[in-house]
């Protein structure tokens, strides 16, 4: 047996130990000691990686995803059970097998392409899901609503019904035999941040009648057509009003949780989300780690606060958590004078603190868990230690010290 066949066989066997039998047809999660998402009954939390739109856009030589088999083998080698990707629903609905030209979101970060690129979503999406299934990996579907030219299709989404329609088309385009590998469907990344929702006003709030309307009325028709899947919108903002937010239409919560979301770290180093200007990383180089090392206990306490807040939201709403972007800083990359040490330090703290709450059904180790982030990716032992921590945690419905549910 060659190395690739061995990795596939062992990863499928490992996945079987994480997923129980007797899967239910309902999309909603159960909190009676285990969690069911899209018919997959978990027996312990899953480790999930975010491969966003990089899985399809970063396919030039050396970009990290030009060989899906190698990338997925390396993902399973590090102990991961699932991956979250952009399904490009607006492009599929307009022409699943058509070639689309996309503009870059940025050229300073290593997610996706830093320049114009061309993609053909299908049959690539089905091929990728099939390769994940061969390795026992589940696939979370999401979207960043990448901007195409010249049509700019994402700007033509005018209603919740439009949003539901394009997701309906996307799920319909997935081969029936591959749908069992779907972990969940996230209708919009970090709803309603403008970079992911260019079809909404910049001042749009999730905590509003309009916000509830968009979530509820986009999911409802898709749920009727595909009741086997679990549905959500992922979040990264408006955490100060979580107690008042109506999340009844969501099967689980997908908050993105960083230390920087709960403090003024970026303000102190002067970082202003410069997407096309290298000055942003110059600020991170000059002040990022220095500021963290000046008072690590404080910055770690802000991350712990954010995690406890999300755990409370989960307990109060009765919904499990899945987090795919986390735990320390939002932006980082392999770069002169940048070291991954303090990033990994914060991420390890996040994994351990979140796991201790017993509220997460799945979590990432960071939002840099991909082969393009060489300094993070090559530390296989670190990933294995972190995924072992995740697998050893309790699921929602148990306290953090309760015994894990046994396999049915």
Q: What is the CATH number of the domain that holds 300?
A: 3.20.20.80
The pLDDT score that the predictor gives to residue 203 is: 96
- Threshold 0.85, pTM exceeds: yes
The residues, any chain, with a CB within 8 Å of residue 47's CB and separated by 6 or more, are 79, 80, 81, 82, 362, 363, 364, 365, 386, 387, 390, 391
Segment (H or E) for 79:
none
Considering the domain boundaries, does residue 404 fall inside one? no
> Is the model's pLDDT at 248 over the cut of 50?
yes
Q: How many CB atoms lie within 10 A of CB 152?
A: 13
Q: Which domain holds residue 78?
A: 3-391
**Domains identified in the chain, total number:** 1
What value does the mean pLDDT of the chain take? 92
Residue with tokens 């499990």: 320
The pLDDT score that the predictor gives to residue 46 is: 98
Residue with tokens 């209603």: 159
Model confidence at 103, in pLDDT bands (50, 70, 90)?
A: very high
The pLDDT score that the predictor gives to residue 1 is: 47
Mean pLDDT of 223-243: 98
Considering the domain boundaries, does residue 175 fall inside one? yes
Considering the domain boundaries, does residue 335 fall inside one? yes
The pLDDT score that the predictor gives to residue 2 is: 52
Considering the domain boundaries, does residue 169 fall inside one? yes
Considering the domain boundaries, does residue 245 fall inside one? yes
The pLDDT score that the predictor gives to residue 377 is: 98
> Is the model's pLDDT at 24 over the cut of 60?
no
Candidate from 24-28, 103-107, 139-143, 304-308 with smallest mean pLDDT: 24-28
Tell which wins on pLDDT, 62 or 33.
62
Considering the domain boundaries, does residue 401 fall inside one? no
Considering the domain boundaries, does residue 396 fall inside one? no
- What number of residues does the chain have? 408
Considering the domain boundaries, does residue 405 fall inside one? no
The pLDDT score that the predictor gives to residue 76 is: 98
């Amino acid at each position: 047996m060659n190395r690739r066949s061995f990795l596939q066989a062992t990863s499928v066997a490992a996945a079987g130990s994480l997923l129980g039998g007797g899967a239910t047809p309902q999309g909603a999660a159960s909190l009676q000691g285990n969690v069911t998402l899209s018919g997959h009954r978990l027996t312990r939390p899953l480790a999930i990686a975010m491969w966003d739109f990089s899985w399809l856009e970063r396919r030039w030589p050396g970009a990290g995803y030009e060989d899906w088999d190698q990338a997925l083998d390396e993902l399973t080698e590090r102990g991961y059970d699932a991956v979250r990707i952009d399904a490009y629903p607006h492009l599929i609905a307009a022409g699943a097998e058509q070639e689309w030209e996309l503009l870059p979101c940025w050229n300073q970060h290593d997610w996706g392409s830093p320049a114009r690129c061309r993609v053909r979503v299908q049959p690539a999406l089905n091929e990728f899901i099939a390769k994940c299934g061969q390795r026992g990996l589940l696939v979370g579907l999401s979207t960043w609503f990448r901007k195409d030219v010249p049509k700019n299709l994402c700007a033509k989404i005018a209603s919740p019904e439009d949003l539901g329609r394009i997701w309906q088309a996307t799920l319909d385009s997935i081969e029936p035999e591959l749908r069992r590998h779907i972990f969940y469907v996230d209708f919009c990344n970090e709803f309603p941040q403008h970079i992911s929702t260019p079809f909404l006003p910049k001042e749009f709030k999730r905590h509003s009648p309009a916000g509830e309307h968009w979530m509820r009325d986009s999911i409802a028709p898709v749920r009727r057509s595909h009741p086997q899947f679990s549905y959500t919108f992922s979040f990264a903002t408006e955490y100060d009003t979580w107690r008042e937010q109506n999340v009844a239409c969501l099967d689980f919560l997908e908050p993105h949780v960083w230390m920087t979301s709960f403090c003024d770290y970026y303000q102190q180093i002067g970082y202003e989300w410069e997407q096309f200007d290298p000055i942003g990383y110059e600020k991170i180089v000059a002040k990022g780690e220095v500021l963290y090392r000046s008072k690590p206990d404080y910055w770690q306490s802000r991350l712990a606060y954010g995690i406890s807040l999300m755990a409370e939201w989960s307990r109060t709403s009765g919904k499990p958590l899945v987090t795919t972007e986390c735990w320390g800083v939002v932006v980082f990359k392999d770069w002169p004078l940048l070291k991954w040490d303090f990033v990994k330090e914060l991420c390890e703290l996040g994994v351990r603190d979140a796991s201790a709450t017993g509220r997460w059904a799945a979590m990432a180790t960071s939002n840099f868990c991909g082969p393009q982030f060489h300094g993070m990716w090559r530390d296989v032992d670190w990933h294995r230690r972190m995924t072992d921590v995740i697998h050893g945690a309790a699921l929602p419905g148990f306290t953090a010290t309760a015994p894990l549910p046994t396999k049915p």
